[in-house]
A and B are shown apart, each in its own frame.
Chain A
Amino acid sequence: MKVEFWGQEFEANLVVGCIGGFLIAIMSSMFGFGGGPFMVPLMTVAMRLPMYIVVGSSLLAIFFNTLMGSVRHYQFGNFDLWLFLVMFPAAILGGYIGPKIAKKVNPLIVKRVASAGLLILALNLLGVF
């Protein structure tokens, strides 16, 4: 599919995009996370699109998934209103505080710490320790 963005034309491989998006969507709605960290590499690396077209468009694509996933979870009775009401303001607040701190820290170090933390969490989930 041809995609036009700010006067430039790109050839987007939709087969890769849709299959990848479909799989990521199953995964992310199954486990209840966003999916951005997977969608961005999919669109930049596998679909070879430049970053500036990906940031906004991937968010739009993910929004579809989050909306559908939320509705479905709600249908199955897996949505707890009170828990949501507790977490929602915290998430919004975090969204405001986060960018302010982000300017002051080295993103490289954050990424390294995060990847180590994720690995520990992963091993814990896998029952290694």
Chain B
Amino acid sequence: MKKNKSMFLSFILSMCLTVPVWAQDAASTAQPASTQAPAAEQQAQTAQVSDTKAPAPQEAAKPETVTIQIDKTSLNNGGEITVTGKAPAGKPVYIEVWSADKKVKANFFDSKPDKETGKIPYILYLTEDMPAYYKIFAPKEMKDKIAEVKKEGKKWSFSDALKKTGADAAYSVPAQIKIDRYKATILASIIGSRGELLPPMDAKENSKRSMQLLKSRFRSVDKLLGADVDIKPDGTFTAKLKIREGLAPGNYKVVAAVDKKLRSEPATFENIITFPNMYFSNAGASLNLIWPFLLTLVISIFGVLMGAGGGFILNPILISLFPIPHPVVAGTVMPTVLFAQASGIANYSKIKFINWKLGIAIGIAMLVGGFIGPKLTELITLDQFKFLFGWVLIILSGLMVWQTTPGYLAKNKKEQAILKEFKKRAEEAAKAKA
């Protein structure tokens, strides 16, 4: 019952959230292009704060600074980069790395009852300013803590993880992104208007929500947290940072931090993506173009053979193989069949094989359904998406088995014979006219 209720509510919400998102999409397309040129020349990677000769443990009275150097200025679709530097002795060092040029969209729908009041907030948090890559590298000693977080499974919380590893002291860049939040009311949803845009949050709240958004966007602990910084007793540290394949191109910034105030100047490196790899801005990932092409080809051939659109197989595989968010997969695969459908309709209508009255009557019901569906895709998490899709596929698989049973085949044979007969007559009639 509870599930039903929440499904219903998300259905209602979907109605009222559509307008603002549309408006925002228009805004996002106007995002400024990246500023790439100067960074390449910024090759002196020693980004320093004032005094380099860092204080020995005893001279703690000196103004404390953090310095870092990185060994490379550019990476070719990911790779390893070594960060070295010096921080005040005895302090943990956290390295924040983020994509400075590319931004992605992230949303998070808060439908969990408040712990104190028990009220369900139903607030949608949405940002267009999320860095396409963000990760905090913690000291090596934190490995166990991160393993602990992973044990929580899918329900892990990024803010807890930050607290556990002490990385909340270094967490700064995403905390400042602009987050919009919308509160949906039932009345608004009935008239189909937008949810109410709530006033901006204070810095603390913004920071907290940005953590939830990061989690909803990047999902796994490993993508957001690592334990790779090796700190010596004298305060020098080294870290081999693995930057994975398939990330956004452009400049990345690296900052070492001890706490909120004591941060190094950013060092910059560039991630270069070259053909046949390409950056998909809405997906927020770089992919080798050949794979989606081959995959689509093979699956659409198979789709023709089994008599079901390729989307049933293509979407789950795309989601599992590539780091593309599920709404983008659904939204991009769907239009690929438009052309095939339109040409099918054209062919059938030539031989007058479409009952327009029937098709349009049901079509209008489907039009309404098609209006609602895409909004729901955004409101559900990837895990819910996978769960529902799994059941859809089980039903489909059942339908296919049913289509191979003797009873169905016998009936189908008759129907197909009539179908052929009708087609023949229709084609002849069409010819006779012409």
Chain A residues with a Cβ under 8 A of chain B: 1, 3-6, 12, 14, 17-19, 21-38, 41, 43, 49-53, 55-70, 72-84, 86-95, 97-99, 101-102, 105, 107-108, 110-112, 114-119, 121-127
Given contacts A41-B399, A63-B341, contact A110 B305 (CB under 8 A): yes
Contacts of A60 in B (CB 8 A): 345, 348, 354, 356, 359-360, 363
B300 to A65, Cβ gap below 8 A? no
Closest 8 CB pairs of A and B: A25-B369, A98-B304, A94-B300, A33-B311, A73-B331, A32-B330, A29-B373, A60-B359
In this complex, what residue of A is CB-closest to B374? A72
List 6 A–B pairs whose Cβ atoms lie within 8 Å, in order of A's numbering: A22-B365, A66-B338, A93-B300, A98-B304, A110-B306, A112-B401
In this complex, what residue of B is CB-closest to A99? B304
Q: How far is the CA of A88 from the CA of B376 in the complex (A)?
A: 25
Given contacts A56-B355, A63-B345, A84-B336, contact A78 B330 (CB under 8 A): yes
Q: How close is A10's CB to chain B, nearest CB, in angstroms?
A: 9
A94 to B304, Cβ gap below 8 A? yes
Contact partner, B376, options A30, A97, A127, Cβ 8 Å: A30
Given contacts A79-B332, A83-B280, contact A95 B400 (CB under 8 A): no
Contact partner, B25, options A33, A58, A77, A89, Cβ 8 Å: A77
How would you classify the secondary structure of chain A's contact residues: helix, strand, loop or mixed? helix
Contacts of A22 in B (CB 8 A): 365-366, 368-369
Chain B residues with a Cβ under 8 A of chain A: 18, 21-22, 24-25, 28, 105, 278, 280-283, 287, 289, 292-313, 315-317, 320, 324-325, 327-342, 344-345, 348-349, 352-378, 385-394, 396-401, 403-404, 409, 412, 415-416, 418-419, 422-423, 425-426
Q: How close is A40's CB to chain B, nearest CB, in angstroms?
A: 9
Number of A-B contacts (CB under 8 A): 402
Q: How close is A110's CB to chain B, nearest CB, in angstroms?
A: 5
Contacts of B394 in A (CB 8 A): 118-119, 122
B355 to A29, Cβ gap below 8 A? no
Q: How far is the CA of A114 from the CA of B298 in the complex (A)?
A: 13
Contacts of B369 in A (CB 8 A): 21-29, 65
Q: How far is the CA of A33 from the CA of B300 in the complex (A)?
A: 12
Contacts of B386 in A (CB 8 A): 125-127
Given contacts A25-B367, A84-B332, A122-B397, contact A90 B297 (CB under 8 A): yes
Q: How close is B343's CB to chain A, nearest CB, in angstroms?
A: 9
Given contacts A64-B364, A69-B334, contact A31 B311 (CB under 8 A): yes
Q: How close is B400's CB to chain A, nearest CB, in angstroms?
A: 4
In this complex, what residue of A is CB-closest to B11? A26
Q: How close is A16's CB to chain B, nearest CB, in angstroms?
A: 10
Contacts of B353 in A (CB 8 A): 52, 55-56
